């Protein structure tokens, strides 16, 4: 599927078919033949961005592989809400790895398929940011460095949500979590450090890296489809708001995700073999406050007196992303 930029918004509701678009421009979800890979009956919270992102990503991967797909899934919300024993919401071959080894399990599955000559069957690994950027990071880096034939998808909700909202190395500065309390002189998570796994993946020189967001599901489908058309190690990092952990309204999931993209805090980019090859320009730039104010995890920045200095530091991060990736060009 080539990316067809949609010029006008009034093309019919995305999920029911973009009916005013031509057949070849419509989304995977618009096709009645879609897999429904993550089916009804799962127990994600209302408005869960991770459930939405996974559904769109895996349906797109299934279409791209003509339904010849196996997924390894790290422990985390996505695994827990979709597979309470003895039930499952997955309509695909799916294996639960440990919290930290989804990339290694997927590499093993890919190696076994290669030995058996099953070149038609493709492999995905998926997990949350904790399973990816923290405990699973070594396995992931090994998968990249060996160029194993796996697409790894990280659903980044910026903390360990499954176990009660503890910080991860993807938690943003100033965010309140169960382990970064909003107290003291510098409330919330640390400023200045952190771990940008998309950039680290690019540094491995692997065939394909992309960031995506549930704010732009068409772009997400395109990137997954593109990744499945390539062999070797691939990585997609999807920003998925978590109403429970972020303290946002379930109905605002897309609004929150969009504000992250449009403020520059979550840049949408693509890279091939170590070079940045694509970026999605910001359509209507918004100040970071528009993103932060929608979430109670940042409420301490907007008390009786707003914390202008720390908001300015967050704005500086967004501005740097915009400069670095040319998001306003
Ligand atoms: C070795 C090990 N340590 C801790 C846990 C407990 N545990 C399970 S899921 C999880 C956090 C998952 O966070 P993340 O990967 O960010 O996914 P999310 O739930 O946020 O989607 C933790 C700490 C575990 N299963 N295994
Ligand atoms: S805690 Fe967050 S990531 Fe987990 S199911 Fe609820 S909304 Fe989704």
% of the chain at pLDDT higher than 70: 94
Distance 74 CA to ligand 1 centre (A): 8
Distance 186 CA to ligand 1 centre (A): 26
Q: Is 13 left (phi over 0), alpha (psi -120 to 50) or beta?
A: beta
Residue with the smallest CA separation from ligand 2 atom 3 is: 242
- Ligand 1 atom, smallest distance to 129 CA: 16
Inform me whether the pLDDT recorded for 21 exceeds 90.
Answer: no
Confidence (pLDDT) at 29? 84
Confidence (pLDDT) at 129? 98
Which has the closest alpha carbon to 246: 235, 232, 260, 236?
260
Which has the closest alpha carbon to 73: 94, 89, 55, 88?
94
With a Cβ cut-off of 6 Å, ligand 2 is lined by 44-45, 48, 50, 77, 81, 157, 161, 242-245
Distance CA 57, CA 237 (A): 11
**pLDDT per residue over 181-197, tens digit each?**
999 989 999 997 889 99
**pLDDT per residue over 278-288, tens digit each?**
999 999 999 99
Distance CA 255, CA 248 (A): 10
Residue with the smallest CA separation from ligand 2 atom 8 is: 48
Q: Do 129 and 172 form a contact (C-beta atoms < 8 A)? A: no
Confidence (pLDDT) at 13? 53
Mean pLDDT of the chain: 94
Distance 162 CA to ligand 1 centre (A): 6
Burial class (CB in 10 A: 0-12, 13-18, 19+), 319: middle
Distance 47 CA to ligand 2 centre (A): 8
């Amino acid at each position: 599927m080539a990316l067809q930029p949609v010029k006008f918004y009034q093309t019919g509701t995305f999920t029911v078919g973009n009916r005013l678009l031509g057949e070849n421009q419509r989304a995977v979800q618009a096709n009645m033949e879609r897999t429904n890979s993550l089916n009804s009956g799962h127990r994600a919270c209302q408005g869960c961005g991770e459930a939405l992102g996974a559904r769109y990503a895996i349906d797109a991967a299934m279409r791209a592989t003509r339904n010849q797909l196996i997924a390894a899934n790290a422990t985390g919300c996505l695994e827990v809400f979709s597979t309470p024993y003895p039930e499952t919401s997955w309509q695909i071959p799916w294996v639960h790895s440990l919290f930290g080894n989804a990339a290694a399990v997927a590499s093993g599955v890919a190696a076994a398929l290669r030995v058996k000559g099953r070149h038609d069957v493709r492999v995905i690994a998926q997990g949350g940011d904790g399973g990816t950027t923290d405990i699973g990071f070594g396995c992931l880096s090994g998968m990249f460095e060996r160029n194993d034939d796996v697409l790894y998808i990280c659903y980044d909700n910026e903390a360990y949500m499954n176990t009660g909202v503890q910080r991860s190395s993807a938690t943003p500065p100033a965010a309140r979590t169960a382990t970064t309390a909003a107290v003291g002189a510098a409330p919330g998570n640390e400023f200045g450090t952190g771990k940008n796994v998309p950039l680290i993946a690019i540094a491995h020189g692997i065939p394909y890296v992309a960031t995506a967001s549930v704010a732009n599901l068409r772009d997400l489908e395109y990137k997954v489809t593109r990744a499945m058309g390539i062999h070797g190690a691939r990585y997609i990092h999807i920003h998925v708001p978590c109403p429970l952990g972020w303290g946002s309204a379930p109905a605002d999931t897309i609004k929150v995700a969009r504000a992250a993209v449009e403020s520059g805090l979550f840049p949408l980019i693509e890279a091939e073999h170590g070079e940045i090859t694509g970026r999605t320009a910001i359509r209507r730039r918004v100040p970071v406050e528009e993103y932060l104010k929608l979430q109670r995890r940042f409420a301490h920045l907007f008390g009786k007196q707003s914390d202008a200095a720390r908001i300015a530091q967050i704005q500086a991060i967004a501005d740097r992303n915009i400069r670095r990736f040319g998001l306003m060009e």
